[in-house]
Amino acid sequence: MTTTPPGPGFPPPPGGSPGPAAPYDDAVRPVGPVGPGGPGHPAVGPTMDPAVDLDKAYPPLEYHLLQRAGDRGWWRGLVGVIALAAAMMLVLPIVTLVVFIAGVAVTGGDAGTAGDQMLDIENLTPLGLAYLMTTLALLIPAVWIVVRLLHGLKPRWTTSVAPRMRWGYFAACVGLSVVALFASLVMGVVVSALDPNALPGDTEVAGQLNAFTSTTRDFLVVVLLLTPLQAAGEEYLFRGYLTQVCGGIFATPRAAKAVAVLVPALLFALAHGVQDPPVFFDRFAFGVMAGILVILTGGLEAAIAMHVLNNWAAFGLALAFGDIAATLTPTGGSWLSIPVTLTQTLVYLGLAVLVHRWMGLARTAESPVLIASRGRVYGFSSAA
């Protein structure tokens, strides 16, 4: 099929903003505007010839290409990335800190002490962990706002191609993540037998069960309740928005997929701060696996499920045997930890893709769904 490059498209309906113009077959063009009752009636905007194949006029889009169905302009992604970076590093931390301090003051606590505790990562407290997790969780509405205001898309398109959270698949992925984690633990036993210092963590306290105190209880409540939101916030930013921004840069399918996976994975690993190379590789490998899953499954469910379980396991082990503050900035380890990382990521990747296919879920947004999601897609103001 011969296509033409994106052009100016058709004017939007009154009050609308210009949408993107997509390539389409020379023989597939809108007819109109015409009135509902013929030439004597008011025009209602462009319509499609009844014989037009919607799949040709509106090609299905994979998850990383969904922003191509939004408002055009290369600058939108750039502005969005800058806005979300500022939100993550400056705006959300300040706003969350103010709200938390106000809450402590209202309940009769020492606001000054609470503020110091929340900013002291080395001597982490349950309040400080709640502050950090809440800040990251607020990335979810921040991403939604940017997608809506800058790209003209409904926020639910950052969740999946459905477009919604496919809860059945998410629940299945939680179970699959347990299987993958177990496989990595088995490999970890083998690696530890070869080198006791191979895996990151505080080896001095390994095997010593911590006492269960009121502080442990408070940490446990925070971890159980806020970890899913914290993990989802990171996934909506890195595997959601950044994946869709990077995927829309290149026209070549392979280049678009490669950039959509590798760039967010690299930024995800770098966002965790200074870290030893094996730990960095572990986070980068997770980002690559999660990015591939997002494209192959058409949504964030699998990535969020694995992220939640990983964090639950890390915090749980720290509460039971180590120092929870060390979980945020792990040190030590060796390159022998790579087999453990690869075992978990590859097992989970294979299982999640197989279950996705077995459940018969879509990995692309089909034309009827795209058209119904908003009044105009690909620059057309309406469709047959």
pLDDT tens by residue, 72-109: 888 999 999 999 999 999 999 999 999 999 999 998 88
Give the pLDDT band (50/70/90) at residue 66.
very high
Residue 60: is it exposed, middle or buried by C-beta count within 10 angstroms (0-12/13-18/19+)?
A: middle
Phi, psi (deg, nearest 5) at residue 365: -90, 115
Please check the confidence at residue 157 and state whether its pLDDT lies above 60: yes
Query: What average pLDDT does range 39-66 have in this prediction?
Result: 63
Cα gap 223→217, rounded to integer Å? 10
Query: What average pLDDT does range 232-259 have in this prediction?
Result: 94
Query: What average pLDDT does range 106-125 have in this prediction?
Result: 86
pLDDT in tens, 262-307: 999 999 999 988 788 888 998 999 999 999 999 999 999 999 999 9
Three-class SS string for 140-176? HHHHHHHHHHHHCCCHHHHCECCCCCCHHHHHHHHHH
Cα gap 233→189, rounded to integer Å? 32
Tokens 């392979």 sit on residue? 254
pLDDT in tens, 352-379: 999 999 999 999 987 666 655 544 334 3
Share the mean pLDDT of the chain: 81
Identify the residue with better confidence: 224 or 53. 224
- Give the pLDDT of residue 98: 94
Q: Is residue 4 within 8 Å of residue 23, measured between CB atoms? A: yes
Give the pLDDT band (50/70/90) at residue 71.
confident
- Give the pLDDT of residue 254: 92
- Give the pLDDT of residue 377: 37
Q: How far apart are the first and last CA of the chain?
A: 22
Q: At what angle do helices 301-321 and 214-235 cross, to 10 degrees?
A: 160
- Give the pLDDT of residue 228: 97
Residue 29, classed as helix, strand or coil, is coil
C-alpha distances (whole Å) from 314 to each of 255, 307, 308 are 34, 11, 10
Query: What average pLDDT does range 331-352 have in this prediction?
Result: 86
The one-letter amino acid code at 214 reads: S
Q: In angstroms, what is the C-alpha Rg of the chain?
A: 24
